[in-house]
């Protein structure tokens, strides 16, 4: 029962179990995020958007890399925004980090606002993946990069590995070809996918033309 309550709060953390889920995500996704970030270049002064910021751990990592730049985290969970602001209070106070409650389907930013957009373990929950990728692309500058990060990679030799989680949360694990295909449909360029040996980890990078 405890496990089920925890997992059910993965999409939109709320209440007591949501707080535990946020803590679990911050800890459990840290190494995955560190690995994925090695596949993008982050320059001094970059403006970065983290979609589905959860407990704010990825935003903290990004703040360490942007120098004089800024990182904005969005999440549609009010609890996640509060926890992210609390765990990044120093960066918020100095204007290096900012958090907003918003959906990936309707981002509250002007077109061409960001050099890099990241999404760690959140793509599964996007309500309209093709249109959401187009909305993300809208807020990217020309030549800007997208980084999508996944722990649940589906493979031909073990297609049902994530079935219990998929059924409970009504989501789908992704394959390399799934991600490449939908990024192409959304008009992204220079698409690359990476996996880590000995894990199910997958990340994809793509650019806005």
Whole-number Å distance between alpha carbons of 43 and 156: 37
- SS3 (DSSP) at 83: helix
At 28 the pLDDT is 57
- Tell which residue, 151, 159, 148, has the closest CA to residue 186: 148
Residue 20 lies in a domain: no
Q: DSSP class of residue 42?
A: -
Cβ atoms 125, 157 nearer than 8 A: no
At 36 the pLDDT is 97
Residue 175 lies in a domain: yes
Residue 184 lies in a domain: yes
Q: How would you write the pLDDT of the chain (209 residues) with one tens digit per residue?
A: 444 444 444 545 454 434 444 445 554 579 999 999 999 999 999 999 999 998 899 999 999 999 999 999 999 889 889 999 999 999 999 999 999 999 999 999 999 999 999 999 999 999 999 999 999 999 999 999 999 999 999 999 999 998 988 888 888 999 999 999 999 999 999 999 999 999 999 999 999 99
- SS3 (DSSP) at 169: helix
Residue 128 lies in a domain: yes
Whole-number Å distance between alpha carbons of 80 and 55: 5
Residue 117 lies in a domain: yes
**Overall pTM surpassing 0.85 (yes/no):** yes
Residue 156 lies in a domain: yes
* Terminal alpha carbon distance of the chain: 47
Q: Is 113 exposed, middle or buried (0-12, 13-18, 19+ CB in 10 A)?
A: middle
Residue 194 lies in a domain: yes
Domain holding 190, by residue range, is: 29-207
Count of structural domains within the chain: 1
Residue 5 lies in a domain: no
Token digits for 35? 């690995």
- CATH number for the domain including 107? 3.40.50.150
Helices (H), the chain: 2-8, 15-28, 30-37, 57-63, 78-87, 89-93, 129-139, 163-169, 176-185
Which backbone phi and psi does 97 adopt, to 5 degrees? -130, 150
């Amino acid at each position: 029962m405890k496990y089920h309550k925890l997992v059910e709060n993965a999409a939109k953390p709320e209440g007591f179990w949501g707080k535990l889920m946020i803590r679990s995500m911050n800890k459990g996704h840290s190494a995955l995020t560190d690995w994925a970030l090695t596949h993008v270049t982050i320059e001094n002064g970059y403006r970065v958007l983290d979609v589905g910021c959860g407990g704010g751990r990825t935003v903290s990592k990004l703040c360490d890399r942007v120098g004089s730049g800024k990182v904005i985290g969005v999440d549609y969970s009010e609890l996640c925004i509060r926890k992210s602001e609390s765990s990044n209070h120093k960066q918020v106070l100095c204007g290096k980090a900012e958090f907003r409650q918003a959906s990936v389907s309707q981002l509250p930013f002007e077109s061409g606002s960001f050099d890099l957009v990241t999404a760690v373990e959140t793509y599964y929950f996007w309500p309209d993946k093709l249109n959401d990728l187009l909305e993300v692309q809208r807020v990217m500058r020309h030549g800007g990069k997208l980084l999508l990060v996944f722990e649940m990679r589906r493979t031909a030799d073990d297609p049902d590995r994530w079935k219990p989680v998929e059924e409970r949360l009504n989501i789908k694990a992704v394959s390399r070809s799934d991600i490449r295909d939908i990024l192409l449909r959304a008009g992204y360029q220079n698409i690359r996918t990476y996996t880590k040996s000995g894990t199910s980890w997958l990340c994809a990078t793509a650019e806005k033309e």
